[in-house]
Amino acid sequence: MTISHIKRIAYTLLLSIGLASCSAEMPMPVMITTTVIADKELNQNADGMSTPVQVKIFYLTSDAEFKTHGFFTLFEKGDQVLGKNLLAMKEVFIAPDKIMKVAVKVDPSVAFVAVLGAFRKVDTGTWSSVIMVPNNQPSSLIAYLSKLEITLQPDKTVKEGWFY
């Protein structure tokens, strides 16, 4: 082995160590699963017929900004008005008497999940709900939609981490 060969190996090792020490460890995303359950009498029209609802799920670092805005602002410009507090958003449509799972990998700094239901009569119903979730941990939630109301709660039937 020549001296230049040894120098090259030493330089490569030093460069590798230097690069490894400079790299920031990227946080691993966590899974948040929301089971969306729609009542059979969901979002009834004037004839009493149940109709589907559009649901938006917001993954937030803080709920303060979400709570200050009304339905139409959040529905139409949620990504703009929530700004850096919004880390992810998912949009689904659910029909009456149906169940769907929405599983999303999100940044581990998500601290709140909020849901918004686009009911026919947003002025008379409960169109949003917010819940705190533990940082950096998988979570399972249930979003229940009744006639003109959406609620969000922890899914106590699932042991966290069990299916991840």
Interval 82-123: pLDDT, tens: 999 999 999 999 999 999 999 999 999 999 999 999 999 988
CB neighbour list of residue 85: distance below 8 Å, 6 or more residues apart: 60, 61, 62, 64, 65, 66
Q: What is the CATH number of the domain that holds 150?
A: 2.60.40.4150
Assess if residue 149 is contained within a domain. Answer: yes
Compute φ and ψ for 150, nearest 5 degrees.
-125, 135
Whose tokens are 């169109």? That residue is 127
133-159 tens-digit pLDDT: 998 889 999 999 999 999 999 998 765
What domain range includes position 123? 26-154
pTM of the model: 0.81
Assess if residue 1 is contained within a domain. Answer: no
Assess if residue 163 is contained within a domain. Answer: no
- Give residue 135's pLDDT: 83
- Give residue 78's pLDDT: 94
- Give residue 162's pLDDT: 44
- Give residue 7's pLDDT: 59
Q: Does residue 6 carry a pLDDT above 80?
A: no
CB neighbour list of residue 51: distance below 8 Å, 6 or more residues apart: 42, 43, 44, 45, 96, 120
